[in-house]
Amino acid sequence: MSEPERQRLAVYLGQERIGELERQGPARYRFTYDGGVVEQRGEGAIVLSASLPARAETYPNGLTRPFFEGLLPEGVARREIARMLGVSEANGFGLLGQLGSDCAGAVVVLPAETAPGTGRGEIRWLSEQELEERLRDLPRRPLGVMPEEGIRLSLGGVQHKLIVVRAPDGQIGQPVDGTPSTHIIKPGLEAYRDIVVNEAFCLQVASRTGLEAARAEIRTFGTMETLVVERFDRTLSGAASIVRLHQEDLCQALGVLPEAKYENEGGPSIATISELLREIGTARDLRWFSQAVLLNFLLGNSDAHAKNYALLYDQPSRVRLAPLYDIVSTAVYPALTTRLAMSIAGIDDPAAVDLAAWQSMLNEAGFRPQPEQLAREAEAVLESARTTRTAAQAEGWYRPVLDEIVAVAETRTAQLAR
């Protein structure tokens, strides 16, 4: 590869090339849409991101980085992967060049003049023993990245997870050389008891409440309890081809870097997100977002920041709020902060949030619900939590942590009645 080619990366949505990244320095790069994309879609169209509407002018580094850095893992995971690849941790351009063949949404980032695969690529199928070994190896090999085996992929976030393909018959493998992944396997964490059951429970409560949530199931591999999550940004086409659906988290959509995802560090607020949804979403999205904020509050999820909400572009010219994901009751773990990732009317202590604060937040965000509507929605979440706990007992996956989550929901529902 020539030096000029090393300074450029091609950006695709699925099979369609839409633009190019150009390196400007060790941690600086800029994005330009291909001319044909701007001509066909029109100036201002949302193609890659709501924060990067189609235009002929190049986007400078400051506007480019929030979306593309949002495709990469964070924290220790990023550091370990950078070490494996021999790339500086700060070098997002270099990391994208090596990991970009399978990212969140439909985005594919490849060396210049390289085309993406077709969705029928190679898969390294794993026995249950191999799968358990790779799950245990995640601290050393985050996401399951193994460059020597052609397993190069990326996904945002800090939690340990293995990115895999699951066949219709249940067989699980790792995608090789840009094959799209279909599932995420999240192992339990010793420091946070029963976190797998916690997340499975919260996702089921969301579904029972009437919100769309990621499909997930508890699976044990060897002695490791895990949560296997179906990716909502993937679907199957004819002949079992895996098709990428485009999505972006709300930090990306608002042009906010991942490290600024918390509101008190400059990240998006509930009002900011509501304004974006009002501009590009639907009334249903706004209603679901307000209900999702309530659900997270009642279940005790203080980590519901803007990267844990997303937009899904699953049909041409349509954007909608993506299914909910990464819902965990953090309130049941004393070691974790109780500070809310997004404040309620400026209050980030959940114990201080009452009906007046909630109504103030809703008014600021442009909602005009009546107090009785809020009471109905809160009671629906609480009833869903109790029903899901009963189901867990009947189905054999109940743990005492579920009683603690229900108790949090009861306490917070009572708070909003005051």
Q: Which residue has the tokens 């490791």?
A: 224
The model's pTM: 0.95
Q: Rounded to an integer, what distance in angstroms lies between the CA atom of residue 134 and that of residue 226?
A: 13
How distant, in Å, are the alpha carbons of 21, 23, 89, 92, 110 from that of 26? Answer: 14, 8, 10, 8, 18
* Secondary structure, 3-state, 96-116: HHHHCCCCCCCEEEEECCCCC
Tell me the longest C-alpha to C-alpha distance in the chain.
67
Backbone CA torsion sign across 189, 210, 304, 153: positive
pLDDT band, residue 2 (cuts 50/70/90): very low
276 pLDDT exceeds 70?
yes
Residue 30: closest CA among 96, 80, 115: 96
The answer to whether the beta carbons of residues 45 and 54 sit under 8 Å apart is yes
pLDDT for 369-409, tens place per residue? 777 889 999 999 999 999 999 999 999 999 999 999 999 99
258 pLDDT exceeds 90?
yes
For residue 281, the model assigns a pLDDT of: 87
Mean pLDDT of 151-160: 93
For residue 367, the model assigns a pLDDT of: 84
- Collapse the DSSP code of 222 into the 3-class scheme (helix H, G, I; strand E, B; otherwise coil) and give the result: coil
303 counts as catalytic: yes
Catalytic residue among 233, 249, 285, 303: 303
240 pLDDT exceeds 70?
no
For residue 239, the model assigns a pLDDT of: 59
The answer to whether the beta carbons of residues 18 and 34 sit under 8 Å apart is yes
Helix (H) or strand (E) holding 229, with range, is strand 224-230
Q: Rounded to an integer, what distance in angstroms lies between the CA atom of residue 188 and that of residue 198?
A: 10
Specify the fold of 245-415.
1.10.1070
The answer to whether the beta carbons of residues 137 and 45 sit under 8 Å apart is no
The rounded mean pLDDT for the chain is: 94
Q: Which residue has the higher pLDDT, 113 or 190?
A: 190
pLDDT for 293-325, tens place per residue? 999 999 999 999 999 999 999 877 789 999 999
38 pLDDT exceeds 80?
yes
**64-68, 168-172, 261-265: which has the minimum mean pLDDT?**
168-172
Mean pLDDT of 53-78: 97
For residue 118, the model assigns a pLDDT of: 60
25 pLDDT exceeds 90?
no
The answer to whether the beta carbons of residues 250 and 279 sit under 8 Å apart is no
107 pLDDT exceeds 60?
yes
pLDDT for 74-106, tens place per residue? 999 999 999 999 999 999 999 999 999 999 999
The encoded tokens of residue 94 equal 């270099």
3 pLDDT exceeds 70?
no
Q: Percent of the chain scored above 90 by pLDDT?
A: 86
pLDDT for 132-152, tens place per residue? 999 999 999 999 999 999 999
pLDDT band, residue 5 (cuts 50/70/90): very low
Query: Which sequence spans correspond to the domains of the chain?
Result: 3-110, 123-230, 245-415
Q: Percent of the chain scored above 70 by pLDDT?
A: 97
Q: Rounded to an integer, what distance in angstroms lies between the CA atom of residue 97 and that of residue 5?
A: 11
Domain 123-230 has CATH 3.30.200: yes
Q: Which residue has the tokens 């229900």?
A: 406
pLDDT band, residue 4 (cuts 50/70/90): very low
Count of positions (residues) in the chain: 418
Q: Rounded to an integer, what distance in angstroms lies between the CA atom of residue 26 and that of residue 91?
A: 6
- Three-point CA angle 64, 70, 75, nearest 5°: 125
For residue 238, the model assigns a pLDDT of: 61
Q: Which residue has the tokens 């990023």?
A: 78
pLDDT band, residue 120 (cuts 50/70/90): low
Residue 287's DSSP bridge partners are none
The answer to whether the beta carbons of residues 101 and 177 sit under 8 Å apart is yes
| Strand order, beta sheet including 310-315 | 246-249, 310-315, 318-321
Helix (H) or strand (E) holding 125, with range, is strand 123-125
Query: What backbone phi and psi angles, to 5 degrees, belong to 335?
Result: -75, -15
